[in-house]
Structure 1
């Protein structure tokens, strides 16, 4: 058997040693918590910066798409206007040509009925 005094002395030694080790353990936990806090703050900062950059890129892309769409619409409107003018000129030219042909045909017809026929019997 171990003498009671020796056991009590060992218990006192353990009690004396434990507070130092507990302090060391607490220091390790505090350091871990600080590192986790710093890592989270850094991660949050990176996410915020990435979100800001993504929003900026998205806004730029939307503005560029709007500009391209506006340019395309303007060009399409201009082309439609030019095509309309061209078709109106073609229709006007065709009407003038039809009127010239009709007038020429009418003159020839009138000239042909006013001339005596070479086969006509007097």
Structure 2
């Protein structure tokens, strides 16, 4: 596909031709090639309707998409209204389900509290057993150190 310059590109080229034209001494005037400038202007005039037609096609396509979007939005709203009506009919079912869910949660919380208490009792018993063993071990260590101190005359302050 051959790419052609847009009217905007051609106008930029025309501006560049004029901006880079040779200046007249001591004047704001310049010398430009009339044929070159007229050729660029004619080319712009010839292709401008094509670009306008292309722009109109884009506008038409956009309008069609907007119409499709609006139709889709209306369908979505209608579906939502229908679902809302169905949900309103099901509200009694929802109320019963919420009550049942609340009962199940309450039962689960009671069971969790009972399990927590049972676990705490078990852990406390294990810690008491460990404390007893630790106490016996500490007592045996003290007795052994005291015998060692008696036998060797050691100072047990540290």
TM-score (normalised: structure 1): 0.49
Name the structure with the higher helix share.
1
Structure scoring higher RCO (CA < 8 A, sep ≥ 6) equals 2
Larger radius of gyration: 1
Normalized against structure 2, the TM-score is what? 0.39
